[in-house]
Amino acid sequence: MSAATDAVPAAAPANPISQSVRDSLVVAKRNLIRMSRIPEMVIFGLIQPIMFVVLFSYVFGGSMNIGGSTDSSTYREFLMAGIFAQTVTFATAGAGAGIADDMHKGLIDRFRSLPMARGAVLTGRTLADLVQTALTLLVLAVVALLVGWRTHTNLGEVLAAFGLLLLVGYAFTWIGALIGLSVRTPEAATSGGLIWLFPVTFISNAFVDSSRMTPWLRHVADWNPFSATVQACRELFGNPGVSSSDAWPMQHPVWASLIYSVLIILIFRTLAVRKYRSATA
């Protein structure tokens, strides 16, 4: 028998898509296990949004005019969509710090030495952050109900609103991933992940009615991707705060939120994966 007939056939190459999915889930599991062993990460992540709910609801609630009403309960329902959206976007800082920490410790280089999809390390990290964000939203929703927040639509619309929040939160974690790969320390990633989020979240319709802003600031707020998600959630929750703006994102906030989120994922995932490859080359 010839050597050719004795040779064992080579294994077929793995499907790149299935390998990427499998590797991403493995990395996500690793990060979730790590998070479960450091519960203070989750606890501290909950404290800030709960503080915002209590402070804005009870300190500023009676002085805010929403649709001609200064009733604090009206403002609480107006506020919660903004607090939910702020909470999921602030996860950006944690994502950036986590990736920067892995880079600083050399863990990314060890992942690179393994036969795994290049984008799986970042995708797995962002998926783990998405799970943590979902848990944070669940706890925050319970707190919101305790302080008087209510929805006035059906269950499907409420779940759709939370789905939009998770999508925009996932999109913003890719911005955090790019920041984490671009700095040298986790501390710098945390600062870099927060410094631009404050103007994004406060120059919006999250905490005040944008119609009361000066004209140029109102236009910025109305076209802010963050504002689109907040407005979409208010509509899906049936909460007060219907916008009188004729800007397209305010007239079609659900579609605007979806489009903004998908564009952010496509752009920043591409940039982050490219940065990952060059940073670990």
User: Within 38-185, where are the H helices?
Assistant: 39-55, 72-89, 91-105, 107-112, 120-146, 155-182
Q: Is the dihedral of CA 64, 70, 72, 75 positive or negative?
A: negative
Q: What percent of the chain has pLDDT over 90?
A: 31
State the chain's maximal CA–CA distance in angstroms.
Answer: 92
pTM: 0.85
Contact, 104 vs 185, CB < 8 A?
Answer: yes
The residue-averaged pLDDT of 153-180 equals: 94
Q: Which of 44-58, 132-146, 205-219, 234-248 has the lowest mean pLDDT?
A: 44-58
Closest to 86 in 3D by CA, of 204, 6, 183? 204
First-residue to last-residue Cα distance in the chain = 46
Domain ranges of the chain: 16-61+69-279
pLDDT at 171 over 50: yes
What pLDDT does 271 receive?
Answer: 93
What pLDDT does 3 receive?
Answer: 46
Q: Which two tokens mark 45?
A: 């992540």
pLDDT, averaged across the chain? 82
What pLDDT does 1 receive?
Answer: 46
Q: What percent of the chain has pLDDT over 70?
A: 85
**CB neighbours (10 Å) of residue 142?**
9
Half-sphere exposure at residue 182, Cβ-oriented, CA atoms within 13 angstroms: 15
Q: Which residues contact 133 (CB under 8 A, 6 or more apart)?
A: 87, 88, 91, 166, 169, 170
Closest to 194 in 3D by CA, of 208, 180, 210? 180
Q: Which residues contact 130 (CB under 8 A, 6 or more apart)?
A: 166, 169, 170, 173
Which residue type does 250 have? M
Higher pLDDT, residue 190 or 88: 88
What pLDDT does 68 receive?
Answer: 62
Question: In a 10 Å sphere around its CB, with 0-12 CB exposed, 13-18 middle and 19+ buried, how is residue 61 labelled?
Answer: buried
Tens of pLDDT, residues 37-68: 777 766 777 787 788 777 777 776 666 666 66
Q: Which of 65-69, 86-90, 92-96, 149-153 has the lowest mean pLDDT?
A: 65-69
Half-sphere exposure at residue 276, Cβ-oriented, CA atoms within 13 angstroms: 28
Query: Sorting pLDDT into bands at 50, 70 and 90, what band is 180?
Result: confident
Integer Cα distance of 87 and 25 in angstroms: 24
Helix axes 253-279, 155-182, angle to 10 degrees: 30
